[in-house]
Amino acid sequence: MAYIKKCLIWLLTVMLFTGCGIFEYSAIAETIFNDKSEPSASETTSEPASIESEIVVTEEESAVTTEPIPSPPATLSLIMVGDILLHDSVEAAALQEDGSYNYEAIFAHMTEDIQAADLAIVNQEVIIGGEELGISGYPAFNAAFSAGDALVNAGFDVVCHGTNHALDKGRKGLLNCINFWKESYPEITVLGIHDSQEAQDDIFIYEQGDFRIAILNYTYGTNGIPLPEGMPYAVDLLDEAKVLEDIEKAEKLADFTIVCPHWGTEYQLKQSGNQEKWAKLFAANGVDLVLGTHPHVIQPIEWVVDEESGHEMLVYYSLGNFVNWTGESGNGIANRMVGGMAQVTLEIKDEEVCISDYGLEPVVAHLEQGVNGVTVYKLSDYTVELAEKNQIRLQDAAFSKEYCEQLCEQVFTENYK
Ligand SMILES: [Zn+2]
């Protein structure tokens, strides 16, 4: 299916676009990206009955084809989801009858979409310090190592740990987390936290074919907890001099630079002046894509253009929560149940990497009591019946499927269809 998808994307690209630049979100691309339940033409018929199936058959049987086939342009699909915010009630749902923690149910309805992307990024809001430090929710969070297993099994490749909760369990929590990733999943990239100066100075470059993509992750702070003594490199902070130094290095090493900032004001549906200030700075220094987290609610998507150079940068100000179960009640709590999965397609055109398509898949945290009761759905898969069962209604009676849809329309405007 992945091969067929790439062919379809290529066809779509050829039909719709003649070059790189700013495109409106493509409803056609949305359909092709997300509708994986329908079998493709090549699966339902042996005859080439459509343009799509002709392409698949032609390429597979290229040995007997006399016409030269132009190779499709190289594309790279990336997704990112927001905060994995493991409150006590989420931890309670992950606690199995045998006393172990298992977080797989959270990702069960999203795994197909996450795995389908070439590059999948997640904001791991809470430190994964392991059970020896005690599993805890708000305000000083700590998750079991199996939370990391669940992220990997869901299909994530890059884990952003640069959050305000990175030091909730101090030096031990940070080092436990880094060691867990190194020992169990050396192939997974961990950003934002480090155990040496060399590790912090190293700029992560994701390479795939001719793509070289730099990804940087920073947090505005660590909830007033100082960096561990002798470890000035422990957490990547939004320190202007350091950020600009990193971006300069990234621009030399890569063709496309992504920044994942942990920024903004909690529960605000619009970006703050501080986020706009940083976005301008990123754009002025050549950053191409910004995928923001921390406000725990969704915020707008927009292009920021550097006035001096004309450089265009796409910004997702906040992807909201992927999962959470706050203990708070009242108006606006329902907003925290809605997150977004950023979907961006990159393409190499005239030896430049650019954004050929972008969009967002809204997601909903579904909360029920009991083991494995917490899970996440795409809003497009969510039902009125499920929404009625969502226990968050006891904390904010306004929650419904329609409420989630209206929130997405309000915040994402034309980027949500
Ligand atoms: Zn945060």
Q: Quick: pLDDT tens for 92-138.
A: 999 999 999 999 999 999 999 999 999 999 999 999 999 999 999 99
| pLDDT attached to residue 20 | 53
In the reported structure, the alpha carbon of residue 380 is separated from the centroid of ligand 1 by a whole-number distance in angstroms of 26
Query: Ligand 1 centre and the CA of 229: distance in Å?
Result: 23
Ligand 1 centroid – CA 352 distance (Å): 34
Distance 161 CA to ligand 1 centre (A): 10
- pLDDT on residue 46: 38
Rounded to an integer, what distance in angstroms lies between the CA atom of residue 263 and that of residue 276? 10
337 CA to centre of ligand 1 in angstroms: 15
Rounded to the nearest whole angstrom, what is the distance from the C-alpha of residue 123 to the centroid of ligand 1? 9
pLDDT score of 392: 98
pLDDT below 70 — which residues of the chain? 1-66, 417
Distance 275 CA to ligand 1 centre (A): 14
List of residues 6+ apart from 112 with CB closer than 8 A = 36
What is the model's pTM? 0.85
Kindly report the number of other CB atoms within 10 A of residue 190's CB atom: 23
CB 77 within 8 A of CB 117: yes
What's the 342 CA to ligand 1 centre distance in angstroms?
18
State how far the Cα of 345 lies from the Cα of 347, in Å rounded to an integer.
7
The CATH class of the 76-415 domain is: alpha beta
Residue 69 CA to residue 224 CA, distance in Å, equals 59
Q: How far is the CA of 294 from the centre of ligand 1 (A)?
A: 4
pLDDT of the residue at 416: 80
Residue 293 Cα to ligand 1 middle (Å)? 7
How far apart CA 162 and CA 246 sit, in angstroms, is: 15
Give the distance (Å) from ligand 1 centre to CA of residue 166.
9
Distance from the CA of 243 to the center of ligand 1, in angstroms?
19
pLDDT over 90 for what percent of the chain? 81
Separation of 295 CA from ligand 1 center, angstroms?
7
User: How many angstroms separate the alpha carbon of residue 258 from the centre of ligand 1?
Assistant: 19
- Write the pLDDT tens digit of every residue in 154-192: 999 999 999 999 999 999 999 999 999 999 999 999 999
Q: Using the mean position of ligand 1's atoms as its centre, give its distance from the Cα of residue 43 in Å.
A: 44
Cα 75 to ligand 1 centroid, rounded to whole Å: 32
Per-residue confidence (pLDDT) for residue 390, from 0 to 100: 98
Q: How far is the CA of 231 from the centre of ligand 1 (A)?
A: 21
Q: Give residue 70's pLDDT.
A: 73
State the angle between helix axes of 2-16 and 51-60 in degrees (0 to 180), rounded to the nearest 10: 120
- Name the residue ranges covered by the structural domains of the chain: 2-64, 76-415
